[in-house]
Amino acid sequence: MRIIFWGTPDYSISSLDILIKSNHDVIAVVSQPDKKRSRGNKLIASPIKSFAEQESIKIYTPEKIRNNIPFINELKSLSCDLFIVIAYGKILPKEILEIPKFGCWNAHASLLPRWRGAAPIQWSLMKGDEYTGVGIMKMSEGLDTGDLLLEEKIKIDNNDNLNTLTEKLSILSAKLLLNAVSFLENNINKKINSQLAKQNTLGREITYARMIEKSDFKVNWGDEAIKISRKIKALYPRANTNFRGKNLKILKIKVLSSDEIKNAKYHLMSNYSKPGIIIAVIENEGIIISTKTDPIILLEAKIEGKNISTKKQLIQQLKPSVGEYFLD
């Protein structure tokens, strides 16, 4: 199969790599244009573009794809069988979706129709989903609304964060994608039946994974402890708070259970009435902070201008006092 691959972030690399190593022909890659990603305003290529360059594959990085006639004509001239789209970053318009002989196919990192949209991994963690997965879907003009060809789900572990879950789903996407391309190749002259995948989605809630905004990264200490924990995992390593006027990235916390709170080593401040207050500093353990519900213990963080610190190191670095506030 002659394939044009569309992708941008690191997440897409596993899928491109497995296709390159297969017996299929990746004839070109389309990625987002180079962007200024450093303090020196230096233009940096996307991870997929850098990877494709190493593999000597033809690369396109159009500033726009809608109504871009020269680019659309170039795509048509390549006589492509399939477009494979993995986290490209833009919705493909109808005039592009209609180009390949056997359609455009996307690997989406959720159990559709749950978490349609731009940030499915973050929202599955943020909302405490027990399972997530990957679906191989034929692309249409809607937002993740096409028919599913293949799907596989995985359990979200308690210690998963955005990094670990993204890696798992990236590997799963690559595996399913290769299976899907082989299936499509073997069924070119048959009507593809996605009824099984459709049945798997019956009864699922339709939810939308909007893009993560700057305001989402702020930890709201007035939230329930479990929601704070989920946010820190979902937005790792960028969830943050303010301490003594400086930005503090919260990398790891633990919600303290009732039994742990009763433990003799946790001598908690007893007369606090608001969330976000330091209610204990436990040597070699961490900093305990009040929330709307259970207290949490801050285990790992990074204050601006400093290295990541954990437990005892963190206490030595911040020198916190019982009764001080963390600000959201």
Report whether pLDDT(197) > 80: no
Of 3-17, 68-82, 184-198, 219-233, minimum mean pLDDT range: 184-198
3 state SS of 34: coil
Per-residue confidence (pLDDT) for residue 285, from 0 to 100: 87
Per-residue confidence (pLDDT) for residue 199, from 0 to 100: 47
Per-residue confidence (pLDDT) for residue 196, from 0 to 100: 43
Q: How far apart are the first and last CA of the chain?
A: 52
pLDDT single digits (tens) 105-158 = 999 999 999 999 889 999 999 999 999 999 999 998 766 667 889 999 999 999
Q: Is 39 exposed, middle or buried (0-12, 13-18, 19+ CB in 10 A)?
A: exposed
| Alpha-helical segments (H) within the chain | 13-20, 47-54, 69-77, 94-97, 120-126, 162-186, 195-201, 225-234, 258-262, 311-318
Per-residue confidence (pLDDT) for residue 13, from 0 to 100: 97
Question: Which among 8-12, 259-263, 267-271 has the top mean pLDDT?
Answer: 8-12
Q: Averaged over 87-105, what is the pLDDT?
A: 93
Report whether pLDDT(256) > 70: yes
Other C-beta atoms closer than 10 Å to the C-beta of 14 total 20
Report whether pLDDT(192) > 70: no
Of 12-26, 145-159, 231-245, minimum mean pLDDT range: 145-159
Phi and psi at residue 265, to the nearest 5°: -75, -15
- Domains of the chain are 2-209 (3.40.50.170), 214-318 (3.10.25.10)
